[in-house]
Chains A and B, each alone.
Chain A
Amino acid sequence: MKDQYFKLCALCGPMFCIMFMVGFIGFAGFMPPLPPSATAVEIANIYIVDNASIKTGLIIMMIGLSFSIPFVSAIVTRMKQMRNSSSTLVTTFIIVSAAVAGLLFILICAWAVASYRIDRSPEIIQAFNDFAFILLIWPVSLIPVSYISLGLAVLSDDKNTPIFPRWFAFLNFWFAVLAYGGCLLIFFVDGPFAWDGLIAFWIPAVAFFGWYIVTSVVLLQSNDPAELVSQL
């Protein structure tokens, strides 16, 4: 009973990262992020000048996002196979991951709205740009919860034959800590805690994409416990 799609789903995580970053950095040019301190006219100008490449980037990000969902399924498959699998934690992880996918969808849409009618007043373009960047960095109510529920599940697994290594649990807790860096961004338009700052953007961004890479490596190295039994 080998799950032949497992490996494919596990590889979807890096695929999502690559496509999102190609769209975000390569085409949209959102790295470094558009500064929150910029005026409405400055922001609108960026959307007017780079309109076609921003739109192309958004399409790549939007398609890339689809790969994040099978990746979550691969993780959930393993979470359910853990010896002391807690269905509460699995459900929490599923709900939060689905919400994160939905929120990424909405924030890409918000950028799309900002770039859609560039002849309208700059304030409206700026408002949608604000909306997208705040959605990108602020949702500390969601992302850390998925890390913590996954980490706790790994810790509660059987110690002698764990599905994921135990350090992976603590790495998840650390990623959760990093993600909280953006929680006060609505207070600031510049400095390290604003949405283009070191603590609010750069560290959580590394954590967010780093999580997909590390998790996919851990997933690919993990064994299906049922398969081990059948081989014996």
Chain B
Amino acid sequence: MISTNKAESFSVQVKSNVKQTYLPSELGVWMFVFGDMLVFTLLFGSYAWERSQQHSLFVTSQAELSQTIGVINTLLLLTGSLFVVLALHAARIGRFALVNKLLLAAIFTGITFFINKLFEYSDKVSNDFTLLTNDFFMFYYMLTGIHLLHVIVATGVLVFIWKRLKANQSPLSKDSIKHLESGGIVWHMVDLLWIALFSLLYLIK
């Protein structure tokens, strides 16, 4: 009995918190996002350390990357983020048909990013730059590869949300909005990480 009371008072407490400050999505998603960014911080840190150790090698290897493809990928991800934001907005004002279309558009940018990345990798490999060429290319493949996995997962999350919303034709529930918010947060994180990656690998001199 005591523990039920505890659970009840806890849920009341949570509800009153929600009234005070609205937390988009849920606590767990934010924990995941910050945890993930912590891992990427460590990855970026070890890249920066290696780079400072073998500076000239990294600079000459960096010149082999195509900045054009990098810019295209940046634009794709940023556009995807915009679509997710617009979808969430459309969901909040109850324009259901628009939500579906915008989500599809965001999913499309994710898939295009993936295809673009595959072209970039095959171009690098055909020019004999592989994971084992040198430390720069080791980091290049590992960092962009781990990031690409994130893009795949984030796109998968959007597909999952899109399918759920499609099946449910009634007005959007609170839960659906929460799901959309989670999808948006994950998508923005992938975006943010790419911008850091893009500057570290392609731009920094």
A interface vs B, CB < 8 Å?
160-161, 166-171, 173-174, 177-178, 180-181, 184, 187-188, 191-193, 198-199, 203, 223, 228, 231-232
Interface string of B124-167 (1 = CB under 8 A from A): 00000001100100100010001001000000000000000000
Shortest B39–chain A CB gap in Å is 6
Could you say which residues of chain B place their CB within 8 Å of the CB of A188?
138
B31 located at the interface, meaning its Cβ lies under 8 Å from any Cβ of chain A in the complex? yes
Is the beta-carbon distance between B39 and A203 smaller than 8 angstroms? yes
Closest 5 CB pairs of A and B: A170-B28, A167-B28, A170-B32, A174-B35, A192-B46
Is the beta-carbon distance between A167 and B4 smaller than 8 angstroms? no
Q: A167-B27, A167-B28, A199-B46 are in contact. Are A193 and B1 (CB under 8 A)?
A: no
In whole angstroms, how far apart are the Cα atoms of A188 and B4 in the complex? Answer: 53
From DSSP, what is the main secondary structure of chain B's interface residues? helix
A-B contact pairs, 28 of them (CB 8 A): A160-B11, A166-B26, A166-B27, A166-B28, A167-B26, A167-B28, A170-B29, A171-B28, A173-B32, A174-B32, A174-B35, A177-B36, A180-B146, A180-B149, A184-B131, A187-B132, A188-B138, A191-B50, A191-B135, A191-B138, A198-B46, A199-B142, A203-B39, A203-B42, A228-B3, A228-B4, A231-B4, A232-B1
In whole angstroms, how far apart are the Cα atoms of A223 and B3 in the complex? Answer: 8
Is the beta-carbon distance between A187 and B131 smaller than 8 angstroms? yes
Could you say which residues of chain A place their CB within 8 Å of the CB of B97?
none
- Given A180-B149, A188-B138, 4 additional A-B pairs, CB 8 A: A168-B28, A169-B28, A223-B3, A232-B4
Residue with the greatest number of chain A CB neighbours at <10 A, chosen from B35, B131, B135: B35
In whole angstroms, how far apart are the Cα atoms of A167 and B182 in the complex? Answer: 13
Could you say which residues of chain B place their CB within 8 Å of the CB of A180?
146, 149
Shortest A69–chain B CB gap in Å is 28
From DSSP, what is the main secondary structure of chain A's interface residues? helix
Instruction: Tally chain B residues at the interface, Cβ within 8 Å.
Output: 25
Could you say which residues of chain B place their CB within 8 Å of the CB of A167?
26-28, 31
In whole angstroms, how far apart are the Cα atoms of A167 and B26 in the complex? Answer: 8
Contact among A193, A228, A232 for B138, CB-based, below 8 A: A193
Could you say which residues of chain B place their CB within 8 Å of the CB of A169?
28
Which B residue's beta carbon lies closest to that of A181?
A: B39
Which B residue's beta carbon lies closest to that of A198?
A: B46
Which B residue's beta carbon lies closest to that of A154?
A: B28
Is the beta-carbon distance between A171 and B31 smaller than 8 angstroms? yes
Could you say which residues of chain B place their CB within 8 Å of the CB of A198?
42, 46
B118 located at the interface, meaning its Cβ lies under 8 Å from any Cβ of chain A in the complex? no
Which A residue's beta carbon lies closest to that of B3?
A: A223
Shortest A152–chain B CB gap in Å is 12
Could you say which residues of chain A place their CB within 8 Å of the CB of B57?
none
Is the beta-carbon distance between B7 and A161 smaller than 8 angstroms? yes
Which B residue's beta carbon lies closest to that of A161?
A: B7
In whole angstroms, how far apart are the Cα atoms of A232 and B5 in the complex? Answer: 11
Contact among A177, A178, A184, A228 for B142, CB-based, below 8 A: A184
Interfacial residues of chain B within 27-73, with CB under 8 A of chain A in the complex: 27-29, 31-32, 35-36, 39, 42-43, 46, 50
Shortest A200–chain B CB gap in Å is 10
Shortest B136–chain A CB gap in Å is 12
Shortest B124–chain A CB gap in Å is 16
Shortest B121–chain A CB gap in Å is 14
Residue with the greatest number of chain A CB neighbours at <10 A, chosen from B4, B28, B35: B28
Could you say which residues of chain B place their CB within 8 Å of the CB of A231?
1, 3-4
In whole angstroms, how far apart are the Cα atoms of A145 and B42 in the complex? Answer: 24
Could you say which residues of chain B place their CB within 8 Å of the CB of A174?
31-32, 35-36
